[in-house]
Amino acid sequence: MAGRLEVITGCMFSGKTEELIRRLERVRIARGKILLFKPTIDDRYSKDAVVTHYGREFAAHLLPPGEETVEMLIDIVGEGALAESTVVAFDEGNFFSDSLCALCEALVEMEKRVIVAGLDLTFAGEPFGPMPTLMALADDVVKLHAVCVKCGAPATRSQRLIDGKPAPPDDTVIKIGGSEVYEARCRNCYEKGDFSKTT
């Protein structure tokens, strides 16, 4: 079987991890061998599982951002497990470094089905990490939408809030959180915050 790269993307609360787990469950039913990785910085719900905002989970291995190589995967799971795997998946692809792109290409060359789920845009509306390149390299891209909390339209943006107001665009890019920090909004309801005042 030829390798392929699939990317699942969209804003916060659009169901990216739900869709990733749905695909992995189908592989498991077909008795395929799965390896799922998530970045070490994503510790919201569990250290050793990918967990959706609604509580569904799937066992996962931690992979440090910046160390996305075949050799590191072997260090984590062993050469045999990587060789036997039919699917290698990554959740929160946006939190990994650009090295994830070369790793995915190497895994596809090894005839693996590779699936990456991650945010396409930062809270400031900018392309997020390696996701734009992965989308360009992918054989298949699915862009999911959430529901805008303001008007109910399809949401494509992740609104970060600080004390109920839009976060300044120069705030730190990576901030792990859920509904206590982020809202899904459509393009019309999304608000860019003011740049933080530095003295």
**Strand, coil or helix: 88:** strand
∠ CA 60-19-125, rounded to 5°: 95
> ∠ at Cα 26 (24, 31), nearest 5°?
95
Of 92, 109, 111, 183, which one is the catalytic site residue? 92
| Terminal Cα-to-Cα distance of the chain (whole angstroms) | 59
Cα–Cα distance for residue pair 88/66, rounded to 1 Å: 18
Tell me which residue of 186, 187, 179, 148 sits closest to 161, measured CA to CA.
Answer: 179
Task: Examine the residue annotation and report whether 92 is marked as an active-site residue of this protein.
Answer: yes
Token pair of 85 as six digits:
């795997």
Distances (CA, A) of 64 to 21, 45, 46, 95, 185: 21, 17, 16, 10, 30
Beta strands 140-144; 4-10: pairing state: parallel
Which residues are catalytically annotated? 92
